[in-house]
Amino acid sequence: MTERDASPELDPSDPKPIRKLKESLINRIAAGEIIQRPANALKELIENSLDAGATAIKTTVKDGGMKLLQIQDNGCGIKKADLPILAQRFTTSKISAYSDLSSLRTYGFRGEALASISHVANLTVTTKTRNDSCAWKASYVDGELVAPKAGANADPKPFAGVDGTTITVENLFYNTPIRLSALRGSSEEYARILDVIQKYSIHNALVSFVCKKVGSSTPDISTPADSSTLQAIRSLYGQSIGKSLLHIDVENEPNAEHSWKAEVYFSNANYHAKRTTFLLFINHRLVESNRIKRALEAVYTGVLPKGASPFFYVSLELDPRSVDVNVHPTKREVHFIDEDDITIRIADNMQTKLAKAGERTFEYQSLLTGGVAPPGSIKKAGSKDKARAAPVDDEEEAASSSEAVLPVPGERKIYSQHKVRTSAADRTLDAMFPVPGPSQVKDAEPASTPKARETFIQESTCYLLSIRGMRRRVLQQRHRQLYEIIQNHTFVGIVDLDRELSLIQHTTRLYLVSHGALSEELFYQLGLRQFGNLPRLRLDPPPPLRELIALAIEAEEHSDKSGMSKNELVEAIAGILLDKREMLRDYFSLTLSEDGLVESLPLLHRESPPNLDKLPLFLMRLGPQVNWTSEDECLDSFLRELAYFYTPGPSPFTGEGKETDTKAERWQIEHVLFPAMRQYLVPPKNLLDRDIVMVANVPDLYRVFERC
Ligand code: ADP
Ligand code: MG
């Protein structure tokens, strides 16, 4: 039959009539929104038991909770008179007026859990209050009392039982086959059930939790009553975590508008897990928040090697008026007032505590991962220098290397729904212009590519108070948003090599950054990180210190300001450096021979050797730019000078071959520096002043295009 022959009322393009859904169907759909799987039902039931003041909660499970989910508690019980309306929607003992909503401190408050369960399962309640002489048993379907057997009446029946309540949920989703088929199979559903119980038992260490499968004599979870949070975490997540836990209490700033407090247990640098364990309770409800999770995970960057994940448990108590628990039907993903500020304050406190605990930690960490890095293979290709940079490869020096070999870390995920440069993530501005032939590029590249061997640079152990203070300062001055941008950026391209400007993208935003300023900070932090244990870059043959300094002084225009002759200046600077030979060698791996030859330089990053054209300037500046009289300032200013030396930028003696050098430099910036920033840079707030600006927000651009 063709469409033309079809009668008008059968035309498939005609709208179908709208019918009112049957009430029971609506309830069933609504219930499915709240109870999506056995673990959701269990969570609601545990919360009810805790609200009822239970000190022992026992769960019995069959078939991952799909056949049977039974929760027995020793709480206050339910009055017999309340049983008939118990499973109707919006019946609750916890709220009677709208205004109560805002002051409510118990778990659930919408009177929906039992009602919902009764719409998608067979629900039976057995309960006894202290004053009742016997227990009462009632069964429910679709919110109403039903007779347990055909022929009997629906009224609650007297029953022999102990104080407390037992809720039995059978045949979950028997009447919604689609929900049932969406479940994962009983062992996975059971794992989720165990997860919920585990988390609640940590948050309620005073309550005893037991969970077992029907027919099994040994429980899978059994926690004692009157335990402590720490004991509970230890017994449930293993002794190894117990040893590496730190604890802090944080609260609102004294003059804050909304008061709040948080208790946090979190792992230190010794604990490495494959995946993050995150327990978040807000006003004693187990909730989820990916935003908070990510923010707290970020505290561990630079503390844990890449690929290693922490454990943290956060119990946050807020003024109930500032929580919006209604955002998600399952009420798990919450939002609240001052969310960002609170998260930042918690993260900052965690960071400070981690840094304080760091001393012991870093020692232990280097023992754990103390593999010896293979000797570097860095060569400055195409270098016009007489001095050639050679790899450090004798045993003694290799053994003193602080680097450990780790698996090549994967690319960081960009967390954004609005990701724009996805498949074209590798296509940079450079890629859009004609590129030189492969042989040319190869010549210009450093001999080893970063993909060939990536190593994680561990922080060295250092007992100098000054260095520890500087390390702490770096963490304290971190700008969180900037950090997030650098961590998860996509490199777009170099805009101007001479002015050291590049474009990077983060989520939908495009930022113009000074890669010079960022690299300088990066190299400063790399120096600080490896202080006392910097790999050495040997110069072969070693150039004479005085000649190099003289070269730089000649290039400086105003060198006669001091009134000294050129030779006097050279002597003065060389004198200072030679005087400090031992310190320069031990702290910075800058080795000067007694007769004034530069034997080795500190190697801040194996894939990023310094431009030796700038060596004369570096050595010369060490004289006037470093304050040699105070330890703090001396170390800090030396590291700053070293960073400046390492930072790519216009070289003072460029001549022939400039083009090749430019290509090498571009390659270096994109493939070494930006990835290294992602891995190690803790950007300080002051970079925001002039070194990074947002130039566009992609959705805004689209809006502009739409108008055209
Ligand atoms: P809500 O918890 O939002 O009030 P529920 O449907 O979860 O709604 O529970 C309805 C009411 O049943 C509760 O307010 C409480 O009075 C009572 N109740 C449920 N479970 C228990 C229990 N285990 N012990 C005592 N009372 C309970
Ligand atoms: Mg409830």
Distance between CA atoms of 172 and 243, rounded to whole angstroms?
Answer: 41
SS3 at position 475: helix
Distance between CA atoms of 71 and 169, rounded to whole angstroms?
Answer: 9
- Find out whether 462 and 531 touch, Cβ atoms under 8 Å: yes
Average pLDDT value for residue range 630-658: 78
- pLDDT above 70 for 416: no
Pick from 133-137, 420-424, 463-467 the range whose average pLDDT is largest: 133-137
Give the Å distance between the CA of 238 and the centre of ligand 1. 34
Give the Å distance between the CA of 48 and the centre of ligand 2. 5
Ligand 2 is an ion; its neighbours by CB within 5 Å are: 48, 108, 113
Q: What is the pLDDT of residues 503-517, one digit of tens each?
A: 998 888 888 999 999
Task: Band the pLDDT of 71: cuts 50, 70, 90.
Answer: very high
Distance between CA atoms of 371 and 304, rounded to whole angstroms?
Answer: 16
Average pLDDT value for residue range 662-673: 87
CB of 129 sitting under 6 A from ligand 1: no
Counting ligands in written order, which one lies closest to the CA of residue 285?
A: 2
φ/ψ of residue 372, rounded to 5: -100, 125
More confident residue, 628 or 439: 628
Mean pLDDT of the chain: 78
Distance between CA atoms of 335 and 614, rounded to whole angstroms?
Answer: 53
- pLDDT above 80 for 67: yes
Counting ligands in written order, which one lies closest to the CA of residue 71?
A: 1
Sign (positive/negative) of CA torsion 497, 499, 500, 501? Answer: negative
Percentage of the chain beyond pLDDT 90 is: 39
CA-proximal residue: ligand 1, atom 23 (nearest): 49
SS (H, E, C) 245-275: EEEEEEECCCCCCCCEEEEEEEECCCCCECC
- pLDDT above 90 for 94: no
- Find out whether 348 and 332 touch, Cβ atoms under 8 Å: no
What's residue 449's pLDDT? 37
Q: Which residues pair with 122 in a beta bridge?
A: 170
CA atoms in the 13 A half-sphere facing the CB of 563: 0
CA angle, corner 301, sides to 298 and 302, nearest 5?
155
CB of 670 sitting under 6 A from ligand 1: no
Q: What is the pLDDT of residues 446-489, one digit of tens each?
A: 333 333 344 678 888 877 888 988 999 999 888 888 998 998 89
- pLDDT above 90 for 88: no
What's residue 665's pLDDT? 84
Q: 538: left (phi > 0), else alpha (psi -120 to 50), else beta? A: beta
CB of 44 sitting under 6 A from ligand 1: yes
- Find out whether 456 and 403 touch, Cβ atoms under 8 Å: yes
State the CB neighbour count (10 A cutoff) for residue 258.
Answer: 14
Average pLDDT value for residue range 570-592: 91
**Which atom of ligand 1 is nearest to 112's Cα?**
6
Q: Strands 335-336 and 323-324: what pairing?
A: antiparallel
Sequence-distant (6+) residues with CB within 8 A of 186 are 63, 64, 65, 66
Q: What is the pLDDT of residues 320-348, one digit of tens each?
A: 777 665 544 455 566 777 888 899 899 99
- pLDDT above 80 for 705: no
Task: Band the pLDDT of 686: cuts 50, 70, 90.
Answer: confident
Give the Å distance between the CA of 39 and the centre of ligand 2. 14
What's residue 366's pLDDT? 29
Average pLDDT value for residue range 543-564: 78
Distance between CA atoms of 438 and 419, rounded to whole angstroms?
Answer: 31
What's residue 557's pLDDT? 62
CB of 330 sitting under 6 A from ligand 1: no
Average pLDDT value for residue range 546-563: 76
- pLDDT above 90 for 79: yes
Distance between CA atoms of 676 and 679, rounded to whole angstroms?
Answer: 5
CA-proximal residue: ligand 1, atom 9 (nearest): 111
- pLDDT above 70 for 117: yes
Total count of residues recorded for the chain: 708
| The model's pTM | 0.53
Token pair listed for 48: 């009810």
Mutating to test ligand 1, I would choose from 93, 116, 119, 132 the residue with most ligand atoms within 8 A of its C-beta, which is: 93
CB of 93 sitting under 6 A from ligand 1: yes
Give the Å distance between the CA of 48 and the centre of ligand 1. 5
Q: What is the pLDDT of residues 185-218, one digit of tens each?
A: 899 999 999 999 999 999 999 999 999 999 999 9
- Find out whether 648 and 665 touch, Cβ atoms under 8 Å: yes
Q: What is the pLDDT of residues 248-298, one digit of tens each?
A: 999 998 888 888 999 999 999 888 888 999 999 988 888 888 889 989 998
CB of 108 sitting under 6 A from ligand 1: yes
CB of 620 sitting under 6 A from ligand 1: no
CB of 111 sitting under 6 A from ligand 1: yes
Least Cα distance to 264 among 219, 313, 308 occurs for 313
- pLDDT above 80 for 445: no
Distance between CA atoms of 479 and 688, rounded to whole angstroms?
Answer: 9
Question: What is the H or E stretch that residue 404 is in?
Answer: strand 404-405
Least confident of 98-107, 152-161, 328-337: 98-107
Mutating to test ligand 1, I would choose from 57, 72, 90, 92 the residue with most ligand atoms within 8 A of its C-beta, which is: 92
Token pair listed for 142: 């679709």
